[in-house]
Amino acid sequence: MREQQNPAASRRKPALLILITLFIATGIGYAIYWAAFAGKRVTTDNAYVGGNQVTLTSQVSGNVTEIRADETQLVKAGEDLVLLDPADATVALRQAEARLGETVRDLKKQYASTAQYESVLEQRRSDLTRVRADYDRRVPLAAEQLVAAEDVAHAREALKNAELAVDVAHRQLEAARAGIDGVDLIHHPSVLAAKSSYVQAWLGTRRNALPAPVSGYVAKRAVQVGNRVTPGTALMNIVPLDALWVDANFKESELRNIRIGQPAMLVADAYGSGVEYHGKVVGLAAGTGSAFSLLPAQNATGNWIKVVQRVPVRIALQPDELAEHPLRVGLSMEVTVDTTAKEGPVLAMQPAGKPLFTTRSLEQPLPEAERLADDIIARNAGKAHHG
């Protein structure tokens, strides 16, 4: 019986030895892999595609008469997407034009009346000189009783009245000059204010057509034909799909080796593992997701339970890869960051004053509006006194 067990035992020993050797080799291999590769990478599937959602809003009030873009459609920057009824803006522009012309004509009268008051003052001064000379001539004659005392009294009264007339004329001239002194008609504050109102009304007529601020796809349309919109009303959202990024939410324990500039490999659930995106870390959020939530966690309580927090890490994507395999805002991603290089900073150093996003689609030709206003001023000013 003992002789039958020995061969079996002798066969189990080599098998057990081989199994132990495999386990040890596997452990050593994993340790090498961890030290060389896995230990220098952090991975999360809590990552989502982000992008700018540009809201098209109205700058004026009006009723919607036309909508030229719908959800899922591509729009180009500067294209008119929504049109408003121009009737109210047209009437407001005509009223502003009338007020500007009326202001110029009223000031024209004021400049003319100032010249008239100057003439009246000169006349009153001339009368005063004449009356004073008559009085001065009668006083010596009255001392020699060559002129009646009553005549001297009348001359004194006339002199007093002439002096009062000069003072009144001088005050009237000062009052007339107070509103126009030191400035010509064209640059008078009242004219400039009326001119600004005209330009504002002119802008109102231009803003009845709402252009797309950026090129992208309409993601959400909230406006209907016939709606009454007011300034600030959100009409539709536009998403530029060529400028997307990924926010990867890593655990706080995984952040110690993440640096700005490190490469990242990303896989979208929409395409599967067959399509890989390559990006780089461009920044780490200034706080955890819970810190900026609508209802932040109240940790200063007696029944506190520790929860591992996550911090959003911004990953920039390559435009050519986005063009080849387009993504959508909100899609799920799996992100792996290579943390081998640790020379980069932890905090972003954005140059001050450098614009990140710009648009010229909302600019208006103000020189054209000012030229039209100057024409209105010139027509109503005529040969007005300018100084």
HEC assignment per residue over the chain: CHHHHHHHHHHHHHHHHHHHHHHHHHHHHHHHHHHHCHHHEEEEEEEEEECCCEEEECCCCEEEEEECCCCCCEECCCCEEEEECCHHHHHHHHHHHHHHHHHHHHHHHHHHHHHHHHHHHHHHHHHHHHHHHHHHHHHHHHHCCCCCHHHHHHHHHHHHHHHHHHHHHHHHHHHHHHCCCCCCCCCCHHHHHHHHHHHHHHHHHHCCEEECCCCEEEEEECCCCCCEECCCCEEEEEECCCCCEEEEEEEHHHCCCCCCCCEEEEEECCCCCCCEEEEEEEEECCCCCHHHCCCCCCCCCCCCCCCCCEEEEEEEECHHHHHHCCCCCCCEEEEEEECCCCCCCCCCCCCCCCCCCCCCCCCCCHHHHHHHHHHHHHHHHCCCCCC
Average pLDDT of the residues in 16-41: 68
Distance CA 125, CA 222 (A): 75
Phi-psi region of 62 (alpha: psi -120 to 50; beta: other; left: phi over 0): left
168/135: higher pLDDT: 168
Q: Does 355 score more than 80 pLDDT?
A: no
pLDDT, tens digit, 9 for 90 and up, residues 331-340:
999 999 998 8
Distance CA 370, CA 39 (A): 66
Question: Using 50, 70 and 90 to split pLDDT, how confident is the model at 385?
Answer: very low
**Cβ-based neighbours of 346, under 8 Å, separated by 6 or more:** 258, 259, 260, 284
Mean pLDDT lowest among 3-7, 284-288, 345-349:
3-7
Question: Using 50, 70 and 90 to split pLDDT, how confident is the model at 203?
Answer: very high
pLDDT of residue 141: 67
168/280: higher pLDDT: 280
The pTM of this model reads 0.71
Mean pLDDT lowest among 83-87, 208-212, 316-320, 351-355:
351-355
Mean pLDDT lowest among 30-34, 59-63, 74-78:
30-34
Q: State the distance between the two ends of the chain, measured CA to CA, in whole angstroms.
A: 135
Average pLDDT of the residues in 303-314: 84
Question: Using 50, 70 and 90 to split pLDDT, how confident is the model at 370?
Answer: very high
Q: Does 100 score more than 70 pLDDT?
A: yes
Question: Using 50, 70 and 90 to split pLDDT, how confident is the model at 387?
Answer: very low
pLDDT, tens digit, 9 for 90 and up, residues 133-162:
776 776 776 666 666 667 767 777 877 887
pLDDT, tens digit, 9 for 90 and up, residues 247-258:
999 998 888 889
pLDDT of residue 245: 95
pLDDT of residue 262: 93
Q: Does 36 score more than 60 pLDDT?
A: no
Q: What does the mean pLDDT of the chain come to?
A: 84
**Cβ-based neighbours of 95, under 8 Å, separated by 6 or more:** 201
Type of residue at 106: D
Question: Using 50, 70 and 90 to split pLDDT, how confident is the model at 171?
Answer: confident
Question: Using 50, 70 and 90 to split pLDDT, how confident is the model at 82?
Answer: very high
Q: Does 48 score more than 90 pLDDT?
A: yes
Average pLDDT of the residues in 345-367: 81
Q: Does 56 score more than 80 pLDDT?
A: yes
Type of residue at 321: E
Q: Does 187 score more than 60 pLDDT?
A: yes
pLDDT of residue 169: 73
Question: Using 50, 70 and 90 to split pLDDT, how confident is the model at 44?
Answer: very high
pLDDT of residue 178: 67
Q: Kindly state the percentage of the chain with pLDDT values over 70.
A: 84
Under 8 Å between Cβ of 56 and 212: yes
pLDDT of residue 303: 72
Domains of the chain from N-terminus onward:
54-85+208-239 (2.40.50.100), 89-183 (1.10.287.470), 244-292+305-350 (2.40.30.170)
